[in-house]
A and B are shown apart, each in its own frame.
Chain A
């Protein structure tokens, strides 16, 4: 089943000098897929993600998530849609520091008025899978970056959304924590069939995906699919990135 379909998407920023951030993007994600989007700075990958996230509007084209066009929804319907169908993971975690880890995780459920027992049950299961059971009652300033991002991943998945969107989830983490987070996401994808879309600079993070789409200057550039071997896929990603050119300096150093 097609979860996300993007048709002829375009985005123009209107200003004194208008700037076309994206043009004619077509994209489709099936249920259970783990897709990465890569590209040099300014290529438009974050713009694309913002529009799929429904926090920015396209100037042309169409986005459908689970068959529905979120931009046709009213403000309240859109809030419901975000709350139930989408999950977000950000580079800067974006946890609320007034809440504990557990409260942060259940926030989408609380907003939706889910029963307390149901909340607790889901948190227990998910926290166990993500290895954050021991920190559930801590406040956000008491936990490490890796733990914070795992909490964010838990928050993005607690309500079993159709699509989880991740914007540079490893950007603020050291390599060990980055690996942990990616492995957790990978496992959720494989075990629970969570559909995920990941925007990243990091070839290591991208190598966890089933498929990586490359964008350059606001247009689709290339698309490669993973085989069975992650390190072979990693090598393929590196190759495409060097072909993309002009961005060679941006590659993160190879992590081991």
Chain B
């Protein structure tokens, strides 16, 4: 047996100690690999590029960013897992050092071990990744609405990237694990299990500060959303405040709270409370950083997925454009325009849709004001189901063309009370009668003013006299159940193409929605994967914590059992502790992301309550299942020992 054999035997023969660490490493390798597999897929890239450049860019950025995030969290996660692992084995290292192992040799042993586990995890992770890649490709094609599915390909690039990235990662971890052991004397190592923990300390000021910081953070985020001050520094500031507050909440406030419970003797000395609280105190201080990480990770996962689900909502597409079809044409192309319009009408009738058709021709005044004729505007808003407006000669309605404008009108009202309008010969001052808070004019951009018919005609006439032609006429078709217009739309596009014309003149809400869905499919999947990875990491944190403490717990409960603790009481104590370990960070995460959702709701017109509830329920269910499994396994183990 030489030294290398010794290190290898050490790993191979204590599989159980290493297996958890190995499995989570392999898992994170697999997720990373899956990302790479999708990101480098040749067809997926082309498929998105064709629908929209910015969309594919967004998708790719999302993919890359989450790959970094997975990688960074993998690092912390593995570091933590190695830390827990080393803690369990401190005594072993102590014995080895006493027997005359030099620090250099100990470091080398840790290094070999980590490299072994790392290599195995990389192989296993990529192996399962390749095996499942067919399945993953199938599912993602479905989610991404790529029509013909994605063929299996040999993901060499993803494979190499994953292997290289994790090789570096495991090397770093191996180095770190040597550093972790450097501090501490030999005696401390050997007696690691016996030495009592010092009483946790906390400052009441920091405890109060924790609550204040979180409240301030919430306030800033809400200000961002409600007042629509779109300054990203503000948003980041709010998030940073909340994160800092959460840190103090767990490290300071929790200890302080437990201390308070401890001082209430009537409560503290009642039955198993004594044990539960003192154990919790030991755990909470120890686990504060873990709780903090888990809360923040889970909160980001919830918020990310929730936001993506909201983006995927059909309400979002309809928010920007209420019309199922918009068809613009120039007056001089009226013949072709009418042909196309009749195709649209025919196909809609064939599909049995009720539709309201209206037309509008916005014009520009000499000083560049965009004007909409009141009678046309009234037609438009009537088709959407709003009552008609009336206007005086010197009045105008400001009507929004984007969601941002709409929101700003709703919150701040119009930016000015009157406007100067040059009709060509003279200037007219118009009072802004109101600023409308819904989008009615199709395919608008910039500020648009609804003016009386007579003024509109006057401006139009002078403009035409001066040779200004080419005002586009928009025909807008409002269809209530536009989500079902898929077949009709496809038929229209086909007929447009047959006649050799440009079908992109036709703007279809259905197509917009579908292509948004494709973009968001990627986002959804990416954030879904990130969410699941984060969540698994978070849950594994708890598991590792328990595992690291198991030896100590066994001893502790064995001792207490001798004093006279029934199985039922043991069950109560353990259940309460596990409840807190599993659900306290989750609760904080739910509150954080709940606030984020309330903020998000301010930005959109449709309700996102359903989406938020769906996410919360999903993760809560998973967590509950996880809790019961852990509780069962843990209790079984303890019960076996205390007999």
Which A residues have a C-beta under 8 Å from some C-beta of B?
50, 53, 55-56, 75-76, 79-84, 86, 88, 94, 96-99, 103, 106-108, 110-113, 116, 119, 139, 155
B190 interface hit (Cβ, 8 Å): yes
Asked if A76 contacts B102 (CB within 8 A), the reply is yes
Most buried by B among A75, A98, A103, A108: A98
CB contact list, B7-39 vs A, under 8 A: 9-10, 13-14
Q: Mark contacts of B82-117 with chain A using CB atoms, 8 A cut-off: 1 yes-contact digit, 0 otherwise.
A: 000000000110011111111111000000000000
Checking B2, B3, B102 against A80 with a beta-carbon cut-off of 8 angstroms, the contacting residue is B102
With the chains together, A155 CA to B103 CA distance in Å?
A: 20
22 examples of A-B residue contacts, CB within 8 angstroms: A50-B187, A55-B190, A56-B187, A76-B104, A79-B97, A79-B102, A79-B105, A83-B99, A88-B98, A94-B91, A96-B92, A96-B96, A99-B6, A99-B9, A103-B1, A103-B9, A106-B1, A111-B3, A111-B99, A111-B100, A112-B100, A116-B1
Closest 5 pairs between A and B when the two form their complex, measured CB to CB: A83-B100, A79-B102, A82-B100, A98-B13, A55-B186
Known: A110-B1, A110-B2, A119-B1. 12 other contacts (CB 8 A): A53-B98, A55-B187, A75-B102, A76-B103, A82-B97, A82-B99, A103-B9, A107-B99, A108-B99, A111-B101, A113-B3, A155-B99
Checking B2, B13, B98 against A116 with a beta-carbon cut-off of 8 angstroms, the contacting residue is B2
Give the chain A neighbours of B92 by CB distance below 8 A. Answer: 96
Asked if A83 contacts B103 (CB within 8 A), the reply is no
In the complex formed, the residue of B with least CB distance to A99 is B9
With the chains together, A53 CA to B99 CA distance in Å?
A: 10
Q: Mark contacts of B458-490 with chain A using CB atoms, 8 A cut-off: 1 yes-contact digit, 0 otherwise.
A: 000000000000000000000000000000000
Give the chain A neighbours of B103 by CB distance below 8 A. Answer: 75-76, 79
Asked if B95 contacts A99 (CB within 8 A), the reply is no
With the chains together, A76 CA to B14 CA distance in Å?
A: 28
Asked if B6 contacts A110 (CB within 8 A), the reply is yes
Give the chain B neighbours of A81 by CB distance below 8 A. Answer: 100
Give the chain B neighbours of A98 by CB distance below 8 A. Answer: 9-10, 13-14
How far is the CB of B178 from the nearest CB of chain A, in Å? 14
Asked if B2 contacts A113 (CB within 8 A), the reply is yes
Give the chain B neighbours of A50 by CB distance below 8 A. Answer: 187
Give the chain B neighbours of A119 by CB distance below 8 A. Answer: 1
Number of chain B interface residues as a range: 20 to 34
Which B residues have a C-beta under 8 Å from some C-beta of A?
1-3, 6, 9-10, 13-14, 91-92, 95-105, 185-187, 190
In the complex formed, the residue of B with least CB distance to A82 is B100
Checking A56, A88, A113 against B99 with a beta-carbon cut-off of 8 angstroms, the contacting residue is A88
Give the chain A neighbours of B6 by CB distance below 8 A. Answer: 99, 103, 107, 110
Give the chain B neighbours of A75 by CB distance below 8 A. Answer: 102-103
Checking A55, A111, A116, A139 against B105 with a beta-carbon cut-off of 8 angstroms, the contacting residue is A111
With the chains together, A117 CA to B276 CA distance in Å?
A: 56
How far is the CB of A151 from the nearest CB of chain B, in Å? 13
How far is the CB of A142 from the nearest CB of chain B, in Å? 13
Most buried by B among A55, A84, A103, A116: A55
With the chains together, A216 CA to B106 CA distance in Å?
A: 38
Give the chain B neighbours of A53 by CB distance below 8 A. Answer: 98
With the chains together, A110 CA to B9 CA distance in Å?
A: 13
How far is the CB of A92 from the nearest CB of chain B, in Å? 10
Give the chain A neighbours of B95 by CB distance below 8 A. Answer: 94, 96
How far is the CB of A19 from the nearest CB of chain B, in Å? 16
In the complex formed, the residue of A with least CB distance to B12 is A98
Checking B1, B9, B10, B101 against A79 with a beta-carbon cut-off of 8 angstroms, the contacting residue is B101
How far is the CB of A93 from the nearest CB of chain B, in Å? 10
